[in-house]
Amino acid sequence: MPFLGYIYSLIILAVIGFQVALILGAPWGRLTQGGKHEGALPLVGRVAAGVSIFLLAGQALAILSVAGNWPAWPDWTGWVAVTLSGVTMGLNWATPSAAERKLWGPITTVMFGLALAAVLGG
């Protein structure tokens, strides 16, 4: 089901946009990384946001692949993406930040479901 990879990747692009905004100083610290920072993230938080961009891009490419699209990576990469999505979902539901839970809990749950459906359907 190629469309699952596309939907997942579009959501990933939006999340990457959020991470780029954090790196550039958007005052959304309460919505990420446990909600420990009100306002803009400190340097270490911005670096973490930068690292997450590469992980997110890899996840998108892996799910695109298992859904039958480019870049045709091995199927095991899809399971890595599902695992990362599941861990991210769990962390977002378990965060002490209510704002982060309300925003990212549902989004990461949808992402996990899409990734799992793509892997199982691929």
Q: Which tokens is 22 given?
A: 């954090």
Neighbours of 119 (CB within 10 A): 21
Question: 79 Cβ partners below 8 Å, 6+ apart?
Answer: 119
Alpha helices, DSSP H, located in the chain: 2-23, 43-66, 75-94, 98-121
Neighbours of 18 (CB within 10 A): 21
pLDDT digits (tens, 9 = 90+) for 96-109: 999 999 999 999 99
Q: Given this model, what pLDDT does residue 51 score?
A: 98
Cα–Cα distance list, 112 to 21, 80, 94, 104 (Å)? 23, 12, 15, 12
- The CA R_g of the chain, rounded to the nearest whole Å, is 14
Neighbours of 26 (CB within 10 A): 17
pLDDT digits (tens, 9 = 90+) for 21-57: 999 999 999 999 999 999 999 999 999 999 999 999 9
